[in-house]
Amino acid sequence: MLSRLSAVVASILVHQIHFLCIANTIGANFPGLPRSFWHELSSPFTEVYEVESFVTETGGTPEPRPFFEDPESNITVQLGAQVYMHCRVQNLQNTLKVSWVRRRGEELHILTIGLDTYASDSRFSLAFEKPNDWRLLLRSATERDAGLYECQVSAHPPLIRTVHLAVSVPKVEIVDEHGATAGDKFYKAGSTIELKCVVSNIPQPTGYVTWRHGSRTLNYDTTRGGISVKTDMGAAGAVSRLYIANANKKDSGNYSCALANVAAATMVSVHVLNGENPAAMQHGGTTAPRATFIFTVVISLSSLLR
């Protein structure tokens, strides 16, 4: 009986020595942990609450989770303008990073990480504004810039705020009195030329509409006289009218209008007639060949009947 008891005690001692050796080896590889931890771990009689107490002491009070101040947003910017995409983050810890990426389908293109810009396009940059706005700045917006942009915080799980960017492309048309696009306009000599230019798809337009006759600007032209321009700015565009009194042959030519440097120019051809018939002028090119064709057919039939 005594020999059996001795064997059990010896087995327990060997087990303890072996466990301590393993613990010391692991402890050497993890010097950040105190030796008391491995001592408590190796003891089969250590209470669970002692380990929990260690975790609580080392973990401390958990920091509040970061969050975005603003919800997802839709932004519309005018072609060629610059735009700020805001990303206000509260409770951002020093160990976390704010990044901007652009999403194209399943592809993500990194634009910024922290205060550093990684976009290959120099029009993109980070414009941080204190205390917590990680703004993405885009200069000279183009149609290709429209799409989804994401502000991300490297928390676990990550925080993502989406910005939908739309680029408004201006539309410029010279229209007639019925609102249809005008290609050619005909006026009698001595009458008043009236052209209407409609600029649309421009949120809060600025600048002014410029009228040109060929390469000559008409807005402030005083050499000819009788020229006036009236422009009305609206919430999403502009309507401008050009008046030229007492039209003459010299007023014929190409007229164009544009809104500053934002909206591309559109053009119409003006014809000032001295008694000519506009219809005859438009179809005059086809009247002679048609008459020639009919005459040829008649001569051919006459030859066959002889």
Evaluate if residue 107 carries a pLDDT over 80. yes
Tell me what the mean pLDDT of segment 9-25 comes to.
43
- The residue whose two tokens read 């939908």 is 164
**pTM, 2 dp:** 0.57
Give yes or no on whether 67-168 and 171-273 have one common fold. Answer: yes
Tell me what the mean pLDDT of segment 295-300 comes to.
40
Evaluate if residue 100 carries a pLDDT over 60. yes
Between CA 176 and CA 171 the distance in angstroms is: 16
Q: Which residue has the higher pLDDT, 217 or 294?
A: 217
Structure token pair of residue 142? 């183009």
Count the residues in the chain: 306
Confidence band of 34 (pLDDT split at 50, 70, 90): very low
Between CA 303 and CA 306 the distance in angstroms is: 5
CATH class name, domain 171-273: mainly beta
The pairing of strands 67-68 and 124-129 is unpaired
Lowest mean pLDDT of 12-21, 47-56, 83-92, 208-217, name the range.
47-56
Between CA 250 and CA 255 the distance in angstroms is: 13
Encode pLDDT of 175-189 as tens digits: 877 777 878 999 999
Confidence band of 277 (pLDDT split at 50, 70, 90): low
Residues 6+ apart with CB under 8 A from 89: 66, 67, 68, 69, 98, 132, 134, 151, 153, 159
User: Where does 67-168 sit in CATH, by number?
Assistant: 2.60.40.10
Between CA 102 and CA 6 the distance in angstroms is: 73
Confidence band of 40 (pLDDT split at 50, 70, 90): very low
Spell out the domain ranges in the chain. Answer: 67-168, 171-273
